[in-house]
Amino acid sequence: MKSRHKQPSSSTSSTPFIRVGPSGVHGLGAFATRDLPAEAFLGLYEGRRYSKHEIATKVWDDQLTYLFTLSNHETIDGAKGGNGTRHLNHACEPNCEAVEEYDEGGELVLKFQTLVAVDAGDELFIDYSLTADDGSPPSKYPCYCGSPNCRGTMLAPVDSLVEKVVQPAPPSPFGDLPW
């Protein structure tokens, strides 16, 4: 009689330092499986890739999405063939970051790495820094991270306007010349 229990897989995880489990912030979260130093590689964001045109024609119906748009305008859908990196939740003071780089084949990839040292069991967060192309208010993208400097939204921070005092240019030593 065959066992109904799943046999251990001989393949290794593409994200060995991430365990997915219930999050206190939102749904499922990604957690460190061991102590990790700053700049530790967590994994590549994997999934189906869409062109800018394909994304524009797709209907999402406000469903839960795992979309990450790259600087080359391709979008990776982590819900289609993704891995544990898709469960990194948003925090306004993240302990991880997403970094774009080109792989050996010249494809733009997105890798996740720690910003600071994290302890085994810590939830891993990135700052989503979303943009609302449709002009939606920040309240449509609420943040529940609870950090002391929480912006209250997952939208990208609005840069503070810094007043610059314009100093007059010093007189040119060539100001009296005819040309």
- So what's the pLDDT on residue 160? 31
Report residue 2's pLDDT band, with 50, 70 and 90 as the boundaries: very low
- So what's the pLDDT on residue 163? 34
Report residue 56's pLDDT band, with 50, 70 and 90 as the boundaries: confident
- So what's the pLDDT on residue 13? 65
The whole-angstrom separation of Cα 5 and Cα 58 is 39
Which phi and psi (to 5°) does residue 54 adopt? -60, -40
Least confident of 39-48, 80-89, 126-135, 165-174: 165-174
3-state class of 20 per DSSP?
strand
Average pLDDT rounded to a whole number, residues 97-115: 96
3-state class of 99 per DSSP?
strand
- So what's the pLDDT on residue 123? 97
* 91, 125 contact by CB (below 8 A): yes
Question: Is pLDDT at 90 greater than 50 in this prediction?
Answer: yes
Question: Is pLDDT at 7 greater than 80 in this prediction?
Answer: no
Long-range interactions of 140-149: CB distance < 8 A, separation 24+: 143/90, 143/91, 143/92, 144/25, 144/26, 145/25, 145/89, 145/90, 145/91, 145/92, 145/93, 146/25, 147/91, 147/92, 147/93, 148/93, 149/92, 149/93
Least confident of 25-39, 51-65, 120-134, 159-173: 159-173
The residue that leads in pLDDT, 176 or 43, is 43
Strand partners, 150: none
Average pLDDT rounded to a whole number, residues 39-60: 92
> What are the structure tokens assigned to 164, written together?
């610059």
For the beta carbon of residue 152, count every other beta carbon within 10 angstroms: 13
The residue that leads in pLDDT, 172 or 63, is 63
CATH 2.170.270.10 fits 18-140, yes or no: yes
- So what's the pLDDT on residue 36? 98
